[in-house]
């Protein structure tokens, strides 16, 4: 995935779309204030400079699907593991809730289910049947909408063709009105996301930690 | 040693087993009540959801993991210290070793509960165990938590053996001095001990092997516990010094726990003639050495971070050094370094009271040390947008601090059923020179044991 910070307006559509797509339970204002909100993707907001000369910056942060993910080796039960596709998968049913993966994650993009899931009415009527619900005591995180990737792969295989670039869109990228989020196959050097990743504006988040993340951030052009 | 003195030792040390005062029941009820409260609190956490604790995004470890590291640290009281003292044949160890070994076993049992207490789904804790499941899924052997499982189990097994071996002759003493049900129980526990030279020889060799084998295990346990932290890319966790730093801290807190336990036993079981000021002074010197070592490690850790000047590390560094965690940090430094240095450095203050005060400080300080390693780092991890503040909630506070009651409860019960000072070791002569102790002890004790038979 690539995120063009020049395009991101910080509207939060990606966060809402992600909640709807992935059956992320809402916890209410009280629990959210206690740090129990689960936003698989969040828009980080930073103010730079002194008033009145301030600049507002946004950065959408989701699981970076690291190649060298610190969350994977620490999990004692293989709940957090690497798929052949290169995704960091989280097997909810295998998770026993040591929360070690979340501590090891430098991006803080893993979320713990402190209670059994519940939704304010009528949100409970719009659950996505393709995504499993998570019970209390397990860890959950961004999957790059693996349910969409898998169904598109199955569809393409049934039609005996290759997946086209841009055919799969995670809900955040689909919802982004500014088209700041671009998703695709990094193994294909001609895909849109590969080209953006190679851009001179591109960089990785916390690259020096050594996680080899798979999300490229394109810096704002005013700064280049 | 005269037969009279030998008989008096036996009488004094077996008395707590045979006579029970109302205070024993009061203590058991008190500590048992606290432990029952904590168990209820934990069950409520399992029932209502983990959200009743103060754990939050991004501080996913708090009081529970602090308690885990703390108690595994305390467990170094015993086996390690008593193994070292046995190997160097320090004569003054004799009344101390069993008090110490018991702390090890109980602290390990308490500490090993916390990885289960802190699980999101504790009912699935058995997935941490390497058992041949029908789905052929093994635990992830790359995970430091699985290393913990093996390290702690090895240490627990070793410590239990190390504790049980020298108890056999004492069980025989109790067996020979009791009747009825108690006689039958201790007869089974004594494993047919008759005090023959052959049996003594086997016991001595077994204990020698265990003393040597337990040392690397003890060192490895806390090193592996430190790996829980140093293997994760978290600011101020990823440090090469954590292994020895944790081991030093563990021995440090272990000695403090031992001093406190000994002082309490001395007072309540009237063991003034056996636990002498000399023992406290010697342990006080050990405490002083460990305080200096601990101070060195903390200074080293802080200095290296400061010179490295990594932005993420420095955020955590200043947070503990002079921001929100500074009061706790400086309390820790005073409790763990300044106070022991003053109290144990000045000979006049190295009394029983002095060592106990210093030890209480060290217990507080070492608990804070573990807390200050875990929480400030997790709350201040790289991206400023995801900083968070941890506030412990009643459930965690109750469970974390009830462990002290659990320790006291186990200790009270143990002292009721087993002579808390090794009778035969004490008889083998506290003042005998290092050489020839083994030979002298065999004769004296086997006579004493035989002499005690009805």
Give the alpha-carbon dihedral of A97, A103, A106, A111, to 10 degrees: 40
- Beta bridge partners, A89, equal A81
Residue in B49, B122, B143 nearest the CB of A114: B49
With bands split at pLDDT 50, 70 and 90, how would you rate the model's confidence at B433? Answer: very low
A103 lies within 8 A of chain B by CB:
yes
Residue B126, domain member (yes or no):
no
- Beta bridge partners, A88, equal A82
Distances (CA, A) of B283 to A208, B70, B77, B394: 46, 20, 11, 36
pLDDT digits (tens, 9 = 90+) for B162-178: 999 999 999 999 998 88
With bands split at pLDDT 50, 70 and 90, how would you rate the model's confidence at B447? Answer: very low
Residues of B in contact with A77 (CB under 8 A): 127-128, 137, 139-140
DSSP assignment string, A4-35: ETTT-----HHHHHHHHHTTPPP-HHHHHHTT
A217 lies within 8 A of chain B by CB:
no
pLDDT digits (tens, 9 = 90+) for B34-76: 999 999 999 999 999 999 999 999 999 999 999 999 999 999 8
What is the percentage of chain A residues whose pLDDT exceeds 70? 99
Residue corresponding to tokens 């307006």 = A9
The total of structural domains in chain B comes to 1
Residue B135, domain member (yes or no):
no
Give the sheet arrangement for strand A2-4, strand by strand: A181-182, A2-4, A216-218, A202-204
Domain hosting B335: range is 3-120+146-452
The total of structural domains in chain A comes to 1
Residue B139, domain member (yes or no):
no
Residue corresponding to tokens 């529970």 = B64
Mean pLDDT throughout A118-126?
A: 87
**What CATH number should be reported for the domain holding residue B210?**
1.20.1630.10
Residues of B in contact with A137 (CB under 8 A): 49-50, 119-121
With bands split at pLDDT 50, 70 and 90, how would you rate the model's confidence at B450? Answer: very low
Instruction: Determine the 3-state secondary structure of A2 from DSSP.
Output: strand
Q: Who's near B225: CB < 8 A, 6+ residues apart? A: B68, B69, B72, B73, B148, B151, B246
d(CA B258, CA B256): 5
> Using CB atoms within 10 A of its CB, is residue B197 exposed (0-12), middle (13-18) or buried (19+)?
exposed
Test the B interface: residue of A30, A137, A140, A210 with most B CBs within 10 Å: A137
Q: Which residue of B has its CA nearest to A46?
A: B385
Residue B428 CB-half CA count within 13 A: 29
Domain hosting A46: range is 2-223
**What CATH number should be reported for the domain holding residue A102?**
3.30.70.20
pLDDT above 70 (res B445): no
pLDDT above 70 (res B448): no
Q: Is the dihedral of CA B154, B158, B164, B165 positive or negative?
A: positive
Whole-complex ipTM: 0.92
d(CA B219, CA B248): 9
Residue B215, domain member (yes or no):
yes
Residues of B in contact with A78 (CB under 8 A): 137, 139-140
Residue B192, domain member (yes or no):
yes
* Residue B434 per-residue DSSP state: S
- pTM of the shown model: 0.91
pLDDT above 50 (res A147): yes
């Amino acid at each position: 995935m690539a995120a063009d910070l020049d395009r991101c307006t910080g509207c939060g559509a990606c966060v809402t779309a992600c909640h709807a797509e992935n059956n992320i339970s809402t916890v209410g204002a009280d629990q959210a204030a206690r740090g129990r909100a689960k936003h698989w993707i969040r828009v980080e907001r930073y103010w730079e400079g002194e008033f009145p000369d301030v600049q507002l910056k946004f950065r959408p942060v989701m699981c970076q699907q690291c190649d060298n993910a610190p969350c994977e080796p620490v999990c004692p039960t293989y709940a957090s593991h690497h798929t052949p596709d290169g995704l960091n998968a989280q097997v909810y049913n295998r998770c026993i809730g040591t929360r070690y993966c979340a501590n090891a994650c430098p991006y803080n993009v893993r979320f713990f289910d402190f209670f059994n899931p519940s939704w304010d009415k009528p949100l409970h009527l719009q659950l996505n049947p393709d995504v499993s619900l998570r019970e209390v005591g397990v860890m959950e995180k961004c999957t790059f909408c693996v349910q969409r990737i898998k169904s598109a792969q199955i569809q393409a295989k049934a039609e005996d063709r290759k997946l086209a670039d841009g055919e799969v869109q995670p809900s955040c990228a689909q919802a982004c009105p500014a088209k700041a989020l671009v998703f695709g196959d990094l193994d294909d050097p001609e895909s849109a996301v590969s080209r953006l990743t190679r851009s001179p504006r591109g960089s990785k988040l916390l690259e020096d930690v050594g996680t080899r993340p798979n999300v490229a951030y394109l810096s704002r052009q005013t700064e280049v | 040693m005269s037969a009279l003195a030998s008989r008096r030792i036996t009488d004094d040390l077996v008395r707590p087993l045979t006579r029970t005062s109302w205070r024993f029941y009061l203590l058991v009820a008190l500590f048992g009540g606290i432990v029952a409260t904590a168990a209820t609190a934990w069950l409520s956490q399992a029932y209502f959801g983990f959200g009743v604790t103060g754990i939050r995004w991004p501080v996913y470890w708090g009081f529970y993991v602090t308690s885990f590291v703390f108690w595994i640290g305390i467990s170094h009281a015993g086996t390690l210290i008593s193994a070292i003292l046995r190997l160097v044949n320090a004569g003054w160890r004799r009344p101390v070793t069993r008090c110490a070994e018991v702390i090890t076993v109980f602290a390990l049992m308490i500490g090993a509960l916390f990885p289960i207490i802190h699980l999101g789904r504790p009912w699935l804790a058995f997935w941490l165990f390497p058992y041949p499941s029908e789905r052929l899924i093994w635990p992830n052997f790359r995970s430091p938590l699985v290393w913990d499982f093996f390290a702690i189990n090895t240490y627990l097994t070793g410590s239990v053996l190390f504790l049980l071996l020298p108890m056999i002759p004492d069980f025989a003493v109790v067996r020979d001095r009791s009747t009825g049900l108690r006689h039958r129980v201790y007869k089974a526990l004594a494993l047919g001990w008759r005090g023959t030279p052959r049996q003594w020889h086997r016991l001595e060799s077994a204990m020698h092997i265990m003393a040597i084998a337990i040392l690397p295990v003890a060192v490895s346990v806390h090193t592996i516990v430190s790996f829980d932290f140093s293997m994760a890319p978290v600011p101020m966790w990823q440090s090469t010094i954590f292994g020895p730093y944790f081991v030093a801290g563990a021995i440090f807190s272990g000695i403090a726990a031992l001093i406190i336990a000994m002082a309490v036993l001395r007072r309540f079981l009237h063991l003034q003639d056996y636990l002498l000021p000399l023992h406290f002074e010697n342990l006080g010197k050990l405490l002083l050495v460990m305080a200096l070592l601990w101070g060195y490690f903390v200074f080293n850790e802080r200095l290296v971070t400061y010179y490295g000047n990594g932005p993420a590390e420095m955020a955590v560094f200043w947070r503990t050094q002079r921001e929100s965690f500074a009061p706790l940090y400086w309390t820790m430094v005073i409790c763990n370094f300044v106070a022991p240095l003053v109290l144990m450095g000045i000979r006049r203050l190295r009394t029983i009271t002095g060592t106990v005060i210093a030890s209480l400080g060290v217990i507080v300080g070492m608990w804070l040390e573990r807390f200050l390693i875990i929480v400030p780092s997790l709350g201040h991890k790289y991206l400023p947008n995801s900083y968070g503040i941890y506030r412990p909630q009643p459930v965690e506070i109750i469970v974390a601090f009830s462990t002290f009651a659990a320790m006291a409860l186990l200790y009270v019960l143990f002292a009721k059923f087993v002579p808390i000072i090794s009778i035969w070791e004490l008889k083998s002569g506290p003042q005998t020179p290092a050489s020839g102790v083994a030979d002298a002890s065999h004769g004296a004790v086997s006579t004493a044991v035989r002499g005690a038979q009805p």
